[in-house]
Structure 1
């Protein structure tokens, strides 16, 4: 009888061996609108037992919205955590009953800016700070955005809408004038993708 074929992938050691933590318990420490703080009881690879706190946050969408003229629809919003007005692209939380991320991107764009998109396209997903929180941000490109709807802001949102030349916005991000991480990532990833497509 022939011996079974054993490939390298069958016998290779798991690349996570020696790094994986084992979760033996988990409890909610604190809950507030928008996110929770969770504590996991874990065992480290060397057998040490400890705990780890992190922000348990729902997924979100981040929208890079272009008008037909090639300008970008941006928002200016007060951010209490850093004590200043933040300039960037619209973003919002995925609700528990949301099943279609494309629809969520359209909704958040409409609610925050009053603009509706002719088309939306999922670009990529990223974990913004996976040492501190478990959220995943889904980045979208929106084309043909027009101001054809009313803003529907939450009670604690103070947002002003503007349109900005794309190159000016990219320059502001690269110069450090824009510090919003989601906006910087959206712009630089979009710019790099365009460069790869042209090469």
Structure 2
């Protein structure tokens, strides 16, 4: 079922996204011309639960969609960084919290038909605030705390717009025995 890549040409190389066009051949010999692929860095996010059982969420503006989005903390895994290390760094930068336990609960692709990156989702528990936020230059976000019941209601009410974050939340709720 796999296609053979005959050639690739880069149309744009950027810090956060790269666009290439591939020419491919299917197993039965049919040619696929001009197949566009978005290359993104891999991402990590976490359902982050504090020592007093509150779920940390971040609210921030997302320009491409033009919305203020309620999300779980996360971001880009840097070159050479392991996903868990990237997640711990992102949690500390975005929330100021460190977590006593962190485990991978899912690895998903945002859109494997057009993009090549993975998202690693973690469940982080035992969080304690150890510092203030340390945000990137173009980052502005507010940390909010919710109970697990409130998170379930936000999902039921379609109040969390980021699909990968909904996925992570559902995996975490399943892991925690909160879905029936």
Partner of 1:133 in structure 2?
115
**Residues of 2 paired with 1:26 and 1:103: CA distance?**
32
Q: Normalized per residue, which structure has more strand?
A: 2
1:117 to 99, 104, 108: 99
Partner of 1:6 in structure 2?
none
Partner of 2:145 in structure 1?
163
1:46-90 CA distance string (max 9 Å, x none): 522412112101111111100112110110011001101110101
CA RMSD of aligned residues (A): 1.9
1:136-158 CA distance string (max 9 Å, x none): 01111111112212212111111
Q: Secondary structure in 1 aligned to 2:173?
A: helix
With structure 1 as the length reference, what TM-score do the two structures score? 0.83
1:96 to 62, 66, 79: 79
Runs of 4+ in structure 1 over 4 Å off? none
Query: How many Å apart are 1:194 and its aligned residue?
Result: 3.8
2:48 to 65, 71, 77: 65
Q: Is the 8 A contact 2:98 2:127 kept in 1?
A: yes
Segments of 5+ residues of structure 1 without an aligned counterpart are 1-15
**Residues of 2 paired with 1:112 and 1:95: CA distance?**
15
> Which of the pair has more CA radius of gyration?
1
Q: Is the 8 A contact 2:48 2:56 kept in 1?
A: yes
Segments of 5+ residues of structure 2 without an aligned counterpart are none
**Residues of 1 paired with 2:127 and 2:93: CA distance?**
13
Aligned length, in residue pairs: 179
**Residues of 2 paired with 1:154 and 1:33: CA distance?**
14
1:54 to 30, 33, 37: 37
With structure 2 as the length reference, what TM-score do the two structures score? 0.91
Partner of 2:154 in structure 1?
172
**Residues of 2 paired with 1:49 and 1:138: CA distance?**
30
Partner of 1:34 in structure 2?
16
Q: Secondary structure in 2 aligned to 1:176?
A: coil
Task: Classify 1:49/1:84 alpha carbon distance in 2 versus 1 (closer, same or farther; 3 Å).
Answer: closer
Query: How many Å apart are 1:117 and its aligned residue?
Result: 1.0
**Using CA pairs below 8 Å that are at least 6 residues apart, which structure has the higher relative contact order?**
2
